[in-house]
Amino acid sequence: MIAQTLKWVGGIDGFLELIDQRRLPGEFVKLQCRNIEQVYEAIKTLAVRGAPAIGVVGAYGVVLGMQARDEGRGMRDDLEWGLCVLAKSCEYLASSRPTGSNLFRALDRVRQSAQGFVSSAPGAKLQALRETVLAEANAICQEDVDMCRRIGGNGEKFIKQGAGILTHCNAGALATAGQGTALSVIFEAHKRGRKFKVYVDETRPLLQGARLTAWELEQADINVILICDNMAGWLMKQGKIDAVITGADRITANGDAANKIGTYSLSVLARNNNVPFYIAAPSSTFDLSINSGAEIPIEQRPADEVEFFGDRRVAPEGVDIYNPAFDVTDAENITAIITDRGVIERPDGEKIAEHLGKQQ
């Protein structure tokens, strides 16, 4: 079984339904987001996470933002007012998490779609504008589903019979609207009858590998072994890891890739142990406006994620804590980037530009 992370229910006055990933694997609970504030909170608190999923959820969040009423005057058929609400909704949602590029790309698509509609139909009703925004959000969602399937199809050849695969964080169905990015590669190899082991790092913050990836792979009846993050290098030296496959939240023009903290270390260990290191990500994750990973903003997480384990304090009170959510893997450490359009071997700026077909 592959989980359906998110779903829009109803028409323009509908709502967004999400799996609350904060409560997995202990409880399977769905959230119903009926306003934009609930969507913001879901993204901010990691009830929904993963760059592709956040992008889709952000687009639907704008739909919810446009359900708001013009207080004191009721809902008006005023396109200018509708565009103003849309712009404020996009700005608000963009402030939820800074690192992944999919959110900003999805919000920009919704904004451009709305502006294009208003330019082509200046006398239209506000209702029609809202329908345009929902249609664009639905399109972004379906494209993500299709991209996930293609990523898996393009990457499954890298998983051989009897292999040991290491993955970090969660890049499965829970991180997307479809069947995942890195885990899509694994799912597609599994569908083709191959037998292999998947080693899963527990992954900070919030142990997303232990809680989410291990759960997803078990649900799909794939052989999964959970390890602590600092065990990966030793497994590589023992010859138990044949490939590392992770996702990415943003990939720059030169091929540097931001992913959950600890990914960079894995890439160095893999290179030192002659283990192929693959990134699996949709083409929407590339941000060609940024030249290198040094320019990617890195989200800082709350200190209490390190200070406490559940409700129990595990660090001295008052100790300084540094808790970045992401790091950046240098392109030179990446064997290949697997996308919905194909595979970029030994990525660099020229190969990426050619792969994407145009500057973004």
**Which residues form the catalytic set?**
249
Distance, in Å, from the CA atom of 136 to the CA atom of 131, rounded to the nearest integer, reads 9
300 DSSP assignment: B
- DSSP codes, 65-133: HTT---TTT-----HHHHHHHHHHHHHHHHTS-SS-SHHHHHHHHHHHHHHHHHHH-TT--HHHHHHHH
Which helix (H) or strand (E) element contains residue 308? strand 308-309
35 DSSP assignment: S
The tokens for 86 are 């849309």
Around Cβ 310, how many Cβ atoms within 10 Å?
6
The tokens for 190 are 């599994």
Distance of CA 8 to the CA centre of its chain: 18
Structure-token match 């139909």, residue found: 121
The length of the chain is 360
Which helix (H) or strand (E) element contains residue 77? none
